[in-house]
Amino acid sequence: MSPLLEMCGIAKEYPGVRALADVTFELRAGEIHCLVGENGAGKSTLMKILAGALAKDAGSIVVNGQNVALHSPTDAQAAGIGIIYQDYKLVPELSVAENIFLGQEPTKQHSPFIDKKKMHDDARKLLAQLGEEIPTDLTIAMLSVAQRQMVEVAKALSRHVTILAMDEPTASLTEHETVNLFRVIRQLKSEGVGIIYISHRLEEVFEIGDRVTVLRDGKVVLTTEVAQVDKRRLIQSMVGRELEDEFPRAELTRGEEILRVEHLHAHRLHDINLTLYKGEILGIAGLVGAGRTELARVIFGADKKSSGRVVLEGTEISPDSPTDAIRAGIGLLTEDRNQLGLILQMNVRENISLASLSDLLAGPFISRGKEEALAARYVSELNIRPHDSSMEVEKLSGGNRQKVVLARWLSTDAKVLMFDEPTAGVDVGAKYEIYTSINRLAQHGIGVLVISSDLPELLGICNRIAVMCEGRVTGVLSRDEATQEKIMTLATMMN
């Protein structure tokens, strides 16, 4: 039996960068084929070519034994290929049903009018197949991340896909939601759909993958049955060297108190009390919607508090804007680096220097020399690839983008730095580099707060972990006493 999809000798070159070279990838019907590799290894490029969003320079694509030319997303759709991107392609203002049938709305016979009843019925049926009960008239903006993903899957199903590629589908999901997603993926598999699963979480590869292909620097370095590899071998092929440990070890000594939050109330936050010490990494755990991001934003002055106190080094502060917070010495590395972190049109240098321009002035002008030096320092220190600070960040991969935002905050004189999901969608190698930077910050006496949905990560790098649930802090655990079970118990502790 011929495979469902064969991509042979695919090559793609950007000006100055070879993104893909002679890549061969095969997918069978009813198979889950994982695609892993560091950021910038070429996974996204390969997916864009499959989606018809990007033209390949060489190679052939064969679907069901037929050679196909994918010049546009419409061609890909016609070939039965569906792609679910990391940043979903849904229209937030439209309803669930409207999104699912976008571009193929059912009409009443021989009329230009949309058959709304049929559209909602069909949408409901599709979602039911996935075991979901999302009201089809809600707008996408009102849905949780996990629900949006289910809408994406339903949208793909409505287009009768036989090949479904998913890019980092669990990046923003909680454990529970991930379990549900896997159930759906297995169901699709049993119906004969071939699934390309891209993830940085290697545990997931072992949990649901049949086969795995590793990309490194635009080349395939390994394709094998999942049963025949272990995690160590996989990491080794991804980074091209042995990695000692997933988390760098660092000796941290807790200093005096630097930040204290007392009886803080705000939108979706109730009576928060927390203390952060110098040289400490404090983790914040909790389910999506527990109020972790909200807490960081209020401390940072991005949102308003309704009552309570924030005390920095013994002095009460009440920042009205991020500008004030930064002046006081607080930094926030936001989640969703593309929407809230980076200015995509600017280059690496300009993104790095954005929050510390006042230190780079020569008279009224920005000193080009100082700025270049600052950027060059972080590009090499954080290993931002390519090593070119005049590169537009738009052309950078996810992990490198995150390092750019990290560099921005490292270059301010912050006393307290908060990280919101710092390693979401970041590959193993880059993760390690980010952890190292966070450790170094703490060693320099900076108070570090890390919000993360990745429990092993929190357990691996934090001194203490505060757990939030429904806008309250339900417990604070020390490194020694914390376990995944204890955290989950606190995270689901309803009043």
Partner 1 sequence: MKSFIPTRSGSLPFTLTSELGIGIAFVVELLVFSLLSPYFLTTENLLNVSLQVSITAIIAAGMTFVILTGGIDLSVGSLLALAGILTTDVLKLQLPIAVSFPLAILAGLIAGALSGAFAGALITRYNITPFIVTLALMTVWRGIAFVYTEGRPIWELPDVFSILGSGRLLGVPIPSIIMIVVFVASHVALTQTRFGRHVYAVGGNKEAARLAGIRTSRVFMQVYVLCGFLAALSGILLASRMNSGQPNTGLGYELDVIAAVVVGGTSLSGGRGSILGTFIGAMLIAVLRNGLNLLNVGSYVQQVIVGVVILLAVMLDRKRSC
Query: In whole angstroms, what separates CA 330 from the centre of its chain?
Result: 23
Binding-site member from 37, 82, 341, 425 for partner 1 (CB under 8 A): 341
Query: In whole angstroms, what separates CA 432 from the centre of its chain?
Result: 16
Measured from the CB of residue 296, what is the shortest distance to partner 1 in angstroms?
11
Measured from the CB of residue 204, what is the shortest distance to partner 1 in angstroms?
30
> Is residue 390 close enough to count as binding partner 1 by CB under 8 A?
yes
Dump the DSSP string for 318-380. --SSHHHHHHHTEEEE-SSIIIII--TTSBHHHHHHGGGGGGGEETTEE-HHHHHHHHHHHHH
Residues in the chain: 495
Query: In whole angstroms, what separates CA 302 from the centre of its chain?
Result: 22
Pairing of strands 472-478, 416-420: unpaired
Dump the DSSP string for 31-61. -EEEEE--TTSSHHHHHHHHTTSS--SEEEE
Binding-site member from 265, 392, 489, 492 for partner 1 (CB under 8 A): 392
Residue (63 or 342) nearer to partner 1, CB = 342
Binding-site member from 55, 69, 361, 493 for partner 1 (CB under 8 A): 361
Dump the DSSP string for 269-327. EEEEEEEEETT-EEEEE--TTSSHHHHHHHHTTSS-EEEEEEEETTEEE--SSHHHHHH
The residue range among 122-130, 143-151, 234-242, 360-368 that interacts with partner 1, by the rule CB under 8 A, is 360-368
> Is residue 472 close enough to count as binding partner 1 by CB under 8 A?
no
Residue (450 or 476) nearer to partner 1, CB = 450
> Is residue 347 close enough to count as binding partner 1 by CB under 8 A?
yes
Binding-site member from 388, 460, 479, 488 for partner 1 (CB under 8 A): 388
Binding-site member from 34, 166, 193, 326 for partner 1 (CB under 8 A): 326
Distance in angstroms (rounded) separating the CA atoms of residues 63 and 224: 21
> Is residue 17 close enough to count as binding partner 1 by CB under 8 A?
yes
The residue range among 85-93, 165-173, 324-332, 436-444 that interacts with partner 1, by the rule CB under 8 A, is 324-332
**Six token digits for residue 313:** 């080094």
> Is residue 344 close enough to count as binding partner 1 by CB under 8 A?
yes
> Is residue 302 close enough to count as binding partner 1 by CB under 8 A?
yes
Which residues in the 394-433 window bind partner 1 by CB under 8 A? 408
Residue (40 or 209) nearer to partner 1, CB = 40
> Is residue 53 close enough to count as binding partner 1 by CB under 8 A?
no
> Is residue 357 close enough to count as binding partner 1 by CB under 8 A?
yes
3 state SS for 422-472: CCCCCCHHHHHHHHHHHHHHHHCCCEEEEECCCHHHHHHHCCEEEEEECCE
Binding-site member from 107, 318, 345, 443 for partner 1 (CB under 8 A): 345
Q: Which residues bind partner 1 (CB under 8 A)?
A: 16-17, 300, 302, 321-323, 325-327, 332, 334, 339-347, 350, 353-355, 357-358, 361, 364-366, 368, 386-388, 390, 392, 408
